[in-house]
Amino acid sequence: MFSRTLNQTHQLSKSLGTFVAGEVKGVPSKKSLVARTMSSQATYEFETLKVTSPEEYVKHVELNRPKKLNAMNTAFWNDMIDCFRKLAVDPECRVVILSGAGRMFTAGMDYKDNEALRTALSDKEVSRKAVALNQSLLHMQTSYTVLETCNKPVIAAIHNACIGGGIDMASATDIRYCTSDAWFQIKEIDIGLAADLGTLQRFPKIIGNDSLCRELVYTARKFTPEEAKHMGFISRIFPDKDAMMAASIELAKTIASKSPVAVQGSKVNLVYSRDHTVQEGLDYMVTWNSAMLQSEDTAKAVMGMMAKETPIFSKL
């Protein structure tokens, strides 16, 4: 497979031209890149989220209601959908870091400010309540599913509390880091409901331990960073938030330096394969790469490797 790729690369390199100073001819000119950058600059202004760009191609989305411990309120559900749908199509974004401002990552669903739920449950006939609740819950689920349908990898950087909706949300991200003072709680049982925003669907597949998952869901007991790491929910623990954010940015920079075609294709196929049989996943992969193996990124990556130079990939 590798030698076939090299042969194809050789053919491609002929048509693409010679490898010049770490770049390949055929890359859009500086002028056209500037034009594209100007036209693709998205605005990210939200009531409950703060969006910054700590590095090229890296976006940092901060849950930004620190006084309310980033509890998820009416505006939050809309903001998440708007924000991640923009990030999904923004060529300036290749990877996202998701963290919380202030004392804690998140205290979960806002008990006081959730307009759609309040209206849905207000005085009306029972089937009308059910329809309204159905719509609200679907909307809330979408607020986390956008983390998955956005093809750019999302790194959750979790400090202190990650409660209820926080677990739903983190379970829809790609990579999770946390601080040593983090604590986790699938809290919904304690407020008389079955978790309904993705924890029961995604969390068990992440940790791969059905017995432990049920224990945590049925008891709502808090679990520690060490336990979270041992079960595979968290990949790294840091002594404090600064160290975690620095490592998250380094990780994001590394991912952003890779071919966006390859990274985003990998995410799409990992998510697809999680939800399908091995054969269905393999079939989908073949279809995907029948298009994507023709990418200039494949030629650039292989040529860069052979020339011991770092390839620079065009915006996607």
Q: Which of 79, 148, 174, 188 binds ligand LH2PNOKW (CB under 6 A)?
A: 188
Q: Is 218 in the site for ligand LH2PNOKW (CB under 6 A)?
A: no
Q: Which of 12, 71, 158, 175 binds ligand LH2PNOKW (CB under 6 A)?
A: 71
Q: Are 74 and 114 spatial neighbours (Cβ–Cβ below 8 Å)?
A: yes
Cβ at position 148, least distance to ligand LH2PNOKW in Å: 18
Q: Smaller CB distance to ligand LH2PNOKW: residue 12 or 161?
A: 161
Q: Is 152 in the site for ligand LH2PNOKW (CB under 6 A)?
A: no
Q: Which of 49, 51, 140, 251 binds ligand LH2PNOKW (CB under 6 A)?
A: 140
Q: Is 112 in the site for ligand LH2PNOKW (CB under 6 A)?
A: yes
Q: Is 191 in the site for ligand LH2PNOKW (CB under 6 A)?
A: yes
Please identify, among the stretches 10-18, 51-59, 103-111, 208-216, the one whose residues bind ligand LH2PNOKW according to the rule CB under 6 A.
103-111
Cβ at position 76, least distance to ligand LH2PNOKW in Å: 11
Count of residues in contact with ligand LH2PNOKW, rule CB under 6 A: 21
Measuring CA to CA, how many Å separate 84 from each of 119, 143, 170, 245, 311? Answer: 26, 9, 14, 20, 28
Please identify, among the stretches 82-90, 151-159, 175-183, 184-192, the one whose residues bind ligand LH2PNOKW according to the rule CB under 6 A.
184-192
Cβ at position 98, least distance to ligand LH2PNOKW in Å: 16
Q: Is 222 in the site for ligand LH2PNOKW (CB under 6 A)?
A: no
Q: Is 68 in the site for ligand LH2PNOKW (CB under 6 A)?
A: yes
Interaction with ligand LH2PNOKW in 46-65: which residues (CB under 6 A)? none
Please identify, among the stretches 146-154, 174-182, 187-195, 229-237, the one whose residues bind ligand LH2PNOKW according to the rule CB under 6 A.
187-195
Q: Is 172 in the site for ligand LH2PNOKW (CB under 6 A)?
A: no
**Whole-number Å distance between alpha carbons of 66 and 104:** 8
Please identify, among the stretches 8-16, 93-101, 162-170, 263-271, the one whose residues bind ligand LH2PNOKW according to the rule CB under 6 A.
162-170
Residue burial 17-51, b: 16+ Cβ < 10 Å; e: rest = eebeeeebeebeeeeeeeeeeeeeeeebebebbeb
Cβ at position 136, least distance to ligand LH2PNOKW in Å: 7
CA neighbours closer than 13 Å in the CB half-sphere of residue 218: 6
**Residues in the site for ligand LH2PNOKW, rule: CB under 6 A?**
68-69, 71, 107-112, 117, 140, 161, 163-165, 187-188, 191, 193, 196-197
